[in-house]
Structure 1
Amino acid sequence: MRHFINYNGEILPEEQPLFTAKNRAFRYGDSLFESVRMINGELKFLEYHVERLQEGMKRLYFSNHKVFTAEFLNDQVHQLAKSNKIFDQARVRISVFREGGGLYTPEINTGTFVIEMQKLEEPAYEINKKGVIIDLYDDVRKNFNPLSGLKTGNSLPYILAAVYKQQKGLDDVILLNDEGYLVEGISSNLFLVKNGEFYTPALTEGCVAGVMRRVILAMGLHTGLKFHELKIRPEALRDADEIFLTNAAQGIRWVVGYQEKRFFNNYSKMLTDMLNRFSI
């Protein structure tokens, strides 16, 4: 079955070449992206994705950031969904990059977009049946800066962490910052549970301002669960009662092991059930 993408409002076969070697996302990583989960035809937590995307476009001086509203993106995704005959469950990637050429100095500051989608079978967020095995990754550290909370095309730290994970036979690794505090997983935010309270690295530690992270914190406010955003030392991983990772596409993934320590998933299951009932 032929598959399509949406390139700046035009529906094209996914195998069709789009760019030349002058493309700024290719040359410089001059781009942003959002990964959005579609469930029963609805783009989950789209408002949060739009807020982060528009904020990122403003920080990168894209002149047309106001165009990328929830209504606009919802329409563009559903145009693509019709062409791909995907009407229920999917993973959607929205990439935005700066048009034109130039060296480090751009010729223009207009952003253009590519939307891709991949059909999924699960009709809701589901807890992973097999727990995740994690360890630390310390070869390249990630620190706080005005761009650290965004999902940009500059992804080398995550790629190198993923190669390390692969070489060590792990499921994920946790990045550190220069002070040695925990930051995040390869494509997920990190949460620890201790004595019924929840802890996650603060945004000032350098982690991405994840949409699912934001949703989990909002659920905490609605339910009275106690969440703390702070600096977390690696030793806290051994001391935790439970650990889980979050992102917008997968929801919550529980961690079964860190080094020789093993964990259960009671809170991860509880939060996944709450997540499937939660709306913003």
Structure 2
Amino acid sequence: MINYNGSLVADSQVSLHTNRGFLYGDSLFETLRVLDGRVLFLEDHYFRLMASMRILRMEIPMSFTMEYMEQQTAMLVQALPDAPAFRARISVFRNPGGYYLPEDNHTRFMITAEPLQEPLYSIKYSPYEVELFRDYYLPKQLLSTLKSTNRNVQITGSIFAHENGYDNCLLLNDDKNVAEALQGNLFMLTGNHLVTPPITDGCLNGIMRKQVIQIAKKFDGIHFEEKSISPFDLQKADELFITNVIKGIQPVTRYRKKEYAINLADAFVQRLNARIRLG
């Protein structure tokens, strides 16, 4: 069951052959974590989606308010079997018609959801090895920062990681600096200096990235900075971790011959969960 433009319908009732998201990647999406019917970090998700739609010149319906977005997500989740939490995805796409040039800039939406077994975030204390993905690069442009359905770099990178036994890969931009991981933003701790690449390096404008930055700026003893990260910097770091809204914080334990601690990542997860409990 899915929510298609405000109605709960079976998956089979949705047509793909005229869907511009399927035909041209003319679509944006937000991946949401839902707890007790509440979309975590709702305001950040909503405003990122609205900004992205404006960048792609999509018409935003007047009815599509932040409250409406949460209500439509909750309506679907409540119709599914109960679970501790849910992973939901809202996709928006232009109305059918046209080829590269749309006939209509008005939009529709679709929401899907699946259960998660843990209500809050936790650290996975297991080996997690990454490698650089060098086949394709992320361009340093505004479109790279959006969650569009054009994810070919991430898809081919995920296949490369799977074929070579890595848990994740780090993506490079066209300056050959590390921009992000396949499924999230990258943070690097060296001494007491915590760094993440700036949005101008082509990384996703991540929702969990924003939460972690807010925590870092108030964390005693940590100096935070948005700064480009070179592959050479990775070898000198004490900790690496990857962030996204579903997993929260995923520590990296190994990159090539370098092994990393997970102390800061563990402390950040505790503060992140405290924020969620406070609502």
Please report the TM-score for the alignment, with normalisation by the length of structure 1.
Answer: 0.94
Q: Which residue of 2 aligns with 1:30?
A: 26
Q: Which residue of 1 aligns with 2:2?
A: 5
1:114 aligns with 2:113: no
Conserved in 2, the CA contact under 8 Å of 1:190 and 1:200? yes
Aligned residues: 276
Q: Which residue of 2 aligns with 1:45?
A: 41
> Which letter maps to 1:132?
Y
- SS of 1:33's equivalent? strand
1:261 to 258, 261, 266: 258
Quick one: distance in 2 between partners of 1:76 and 1:87?
18
Q: Which residue of 1 aligns with 2:164?
A: 168
2:212 to 198, 212, 216: 216
Conserved in 2, the CA contact under 8 Å of 1:137 and 1:173? yes
Conserved in 2, the CA contact under 8 Å of 1:125 and 1:250? yes
Question: Could you report, residue by residue, the CA deviation over 1:70-94 in whole angstroms, capped at 9, with x for unpaired residues?
Answer: 2011100111112114364111111
**Structure 1: runs of 5 or more not aligned:** none
Quick one: distance in 1 between partners of 2:83 and 2:133?
39
Q: Which residue of 2 aligns with 1:64?
A: 60
Conserved in 2, the CA contact under 8 Å of 1:33 and 1:93? yes
- SS of 1:161's equivalent? helix
> Which letter maps to 1:90?
F
Question: Could you report, residue by residue, the CA deviation over 1:17-59 in whole angstroms, capped at 9, with x for unpaired residues?
Answer: 4124221111110000001111233211011011110001011
RMSD: 1.5
Quick one: distance in 1 between partners of 2:82 and 2:60?
29
Conserved in 1, the CA contact under 8 Å of 2:16 and 2:22? no
Q: Which residue of 1 aligns with 2:200?
A: 204
Q: Which residue of 1 aligns with 2:79?
A: 83
1:240 to 237, 240, 246: 237
Quick one: distance in 2 between partners of 1:260 and 1:66?
54
1:180 to 161, 176, 183: 176
Task: State percent identity of aligned pairs.
Answer: 34
1:125 aligns with 2:121: yes
Quick one: distance in 2 between partners of 1:91 and 1:45?
13
Quick one: distance in 1 between partners of 2:6 and 2:127?
40
Q: Which residue of 2 aligns with 1:154?
A: 150
Conserved in 1, the CA contact under 8 Å of 2:84 and 2:118? no
Quick one: distance in 2 between partners of 1:51 and 1:131?
35
Quick one: distance in 1 between partners of 2:83 and 2:230?
44
Quick one: distance in 1 between partners of 2:162 and 2:62?
40
Q: Which residue of 2 aligns with 1:21?
A: 17
CA shift at 1:142, angstroms? Answer: 0.2
Please report the TM-score for the alignment, with normalisation by the length of structure 2.
Answer: 0.95
Structure 1 residues 249 and 202, CA gap change in structure 2 (3 angstroms): same
Quick one: distance in 1 between partners of 2:62 and 2:226?
30
Quick one: distance in 2 between partners of 1:227 and 1:17?
48
**Structure 2: runs of 5 or more not aligned:** none
Conserved in 1, the CA contact under 8 Å of 2:83 and 2:115? no
Quick one: distance in 1 between partners of 2:167 and 2:210?
23
Question: Could you report, residue by residue, the CA deviation over 1:113-158 in whole angstroms, capped at 9, with x for unpaired residues?
Answer: 1101111111210111213210100110002212111100111011
Conserved in 2, the CA contact under 8 Å of 1:192 and 1:243? yes
